[in-house]
Amino acid sequence: MPMADVGDTAFRVTALSWSVPADGRLSWVPPGRIGHDPQNLHLVEGEDRLLVIDTGLAVHLDAILAELGDRRAGRRIVIYLTRIEPECMLNLPALLDRLPDVEVATAVPLSPFDLVHLPHPDLARRVKVSHLAFGGTLEAVGFPLMRILRPPINTLSTSWLSDARSGALFTSDFFALDLAGHEGTPAIRCTAEDLPPRDVLRAGILHKFDWLPRARQEPIAAAWDATFRDLAPIALCPTHGRIAVGADVVARIVSDYRAAIFGASPN
């Protein structure tokens, strides 16, 4: 069972990361870019609940089950789904089946139980699913300071989460292009050293969001600026790719991405 790289990201926020080779077999990594891609499971601790963002990869299922079993400390687990791609959802049936006292929340406008195979039909009746709205919070599932954001750039229905308590921003498949050079590289970076250059960022962004070059840039740039006008995250927590911790390095990364997409910031 692969060991998780465990790191504290922010106040009462922990990342469990497992590295997979970026060897041409990851669709979100552009051809020719190689390295190791951390796959992250973010845990946010509440008083009586533990928020788990997405469900991780099937290849890491046993390790994820073991970690969650160790770390829940008697708390109810809330699984929040940011997207309906398999890397976010495919472990959901096993987590619901093998962990007691779990509920699900999402802003995706589809029933997650229509999309995955539950091992027992009664799980669909027993497990509570909360469909939450963009702009609202996760108060209904015990995390009132966690706000649901509509990303400025997304392909499928996707949500980000902004944690006012810790300053962490959970960005699903965005800010996800920082590969580790080798397998032992920590999943969390605290400095701007060796950040991917802007041309590498642009190639990676356009690789997944390939409609962007043909899109009207002004409304997207406006949405981007509106998103970050009132946000000053101190941690960027994507579902894959290295996690960034520290206000300065996060600000640099946000600025680099903006420049890679739209050109230099108007500020």
Q: How far is the CB of 63 from other proteins (least distance, A)?
A: 12
Q: How far is the CB of 265 from other proteins (least distance, A)?
A: 20
Q: How far is the CB of 250 from other proteins (least distance, A)?
A: 26
| Cβ-based nearer residue to other proteins, 18 or 143 | 18
> Residue 36: which of 26, 49, 44 has the closest Cα?
26
* 81/100 Cα distance (integer angstroms): 18
Residue with tokens 């499971």: 41
| Cβ-based nearer residue to other proteins, 57 or 245 | 57
| Cβ-based nearer residue to other proteins, 7 or 93 | 93
Question: Counting beta carbons within 10 angstroms of the beta carbon of residue 238, is it exposed (0 to 12), middle (13 to 18) or buried (19 or more)?
Answer: buried
* 214/67 Cα distance (integer angstroms): 43
Q: How far is the CB of 154 from other proteins (least distance, A)?
A: 6
| Cβ-based nearer residue to other proteins, 101 or 210 | 210
Q: How far is the CB of 156 from other proteins (least distance, A)?
A: 6
Residue numbers of the site for other proteins (CB under 8 A)? Answer: 20, 24-27, 39, 57-59, 84-87, 89-90, 110-111, 113-118, 154-157, 207-211, 214-216, 219-220
Tokens of 75: 């708390």
Contact, 189 vs 72, CB < 8 A?
no
| Beta bridge partners of residue 13, listed in sequence order | 10, 44
| Cβ-based nearer residue to other proteins, 90 or 235 | 90
* DSSP type of residue 46: -
Q: Where are the beta strands (DSSP E) in 82-138?
A: 102-106, 129-131, 137-138
Q: How far is the CB of 87 from other proteins (least distance, A)?
A: 7
Specify the 3-state DSSP secondary structure of 93.
Answer: helix
Tokens of 197: 């250059």
* 141/118 Cα distance (integer angstroms): 22
| Cβ-based nearer residue to other proteins, 90 or 105 | 90
* 117/111 Cα distance (integer angstroms): 12
| Cβ-based nearer residue to other proteins, 137 or 157 | 157
Tokens of 181: 């050079």
Q: How far is the CB of 59 from other proteins (least distance, A)?
A: 4
Contact, 55 vs 88, CB < 8 A?
yes
